[in-house]
Amino acid sequence: MPEDSPVLAHVDGQAGHLVLNRPRAINALTHEMVTIIRRMLEEWAADPAVQTVVLTGSGDRGLCAGGDIVSIYHDGIAGGTASAAFWADEYRLDAEIAEYPKPFVAVMDGIVLGGGIGLSAHASFRVVTERSKVGMPETGIGFFPDVGGTYLLSRAPGELGTHLALTAGLVGAGDAIAVGLADWYVPSDRLPDLLTALASQDAAAAVASVADPVPESALVGDREWIDLAYEGDDLVKIYSRLADSDVPAAREAAAVLLTKSPTSLKVTLRALRAAADLPSLPAALEQEYRLSVRFHGSHDFIEGVRAQVIDKDRTPRWSPATFDGVSDEAVTAYFAGLGDD
């Protein structure tokens, strides 16, 4: 595999290594990268010499900052179909990682957002460090937590997942483990030791040999007000409970919600509640695919990416601009079937 490939693959002892290799873009995920990863996973699944698969990111900024949102933005403006094809294969990859027949170790060091969650949080061993910044920031760009995000966050303790999904919050190692996005804490200076151990040891033994106790979770300490505020499926009531709370952090969350796309917030809330009742990750990914196709090219998605990524003025003009302006019928339309697609 050439050195400039966006994904590097090599075998070290009994471990097959996949290295995301776009460090200048914090390894943002492209369709080509998805194709390479799927091909290598299929090859290694049939190779008895490869006992464990290890996912890391090149550079020192993070594993993966999400999908290549700039390409998706331009495709949306043009009314193209490349993004729909990308999401279809990306979501298939996420499901394949969750069901992979061999141990899959995802090293979630540094920034892990959006599509990076899809590559790592469905793995059998999910390792975070003191440098980890994990989250689903999609409501801030007029989108929703995809790549199985609705499935994972809907199964977090209490309403912690709802809080993170709606506010698009980033969390560190302790909180990521508490909400179910990771399960092992390894200090970053021990990651070389982890990779060395994986070359010759069983994955479980290798990870355990370098892991430290899980750091305390601040979110767990906030469960009381979070669970109370985010109960139910009415976004307006959730906002009111946050805004009227005696807890400063709750009022801060209310202010954050006012900066997000009202359409994204309402669709995300309904998607989370629906995903909680779905039987499997693939079922949730099917729902998410319908939502992704509908969001692509929508006003709020195009405007959100423009404001946050393209022009970087950080002042998106959402339409509708208020929670009440987003009708139940408009939300329901996002979930409708896609026919032959």
Active site residues: 67, 115, 138, 146
Measured CA to CA, the distance from residue 91 to residue 69 in angstroms comes to 16
Count of CB atoms situated within 10 Å of the CB of 132: 27
Radius of gyration of the chain (CA): 20
Task: Reduce the DSSP state of residue 318 to 3 states and report it.
Answer: coil
Distances from the Cα of 239 to the Cα of 229, 235, 303, angstroms: 8, 6, 23
Q: N- to C-terminal Cα distance for the chain?
A: 34
Measured CA to CA, the distance from residue 177 to residue 99 in angstroms comes to 20
List the beta bridge partners of residue 62: 110, 111
Check if the beta carbon of residue 18 is closer than 8 Å to that of residue 40: yes
Q: Which amino acid is at 333?
A: A
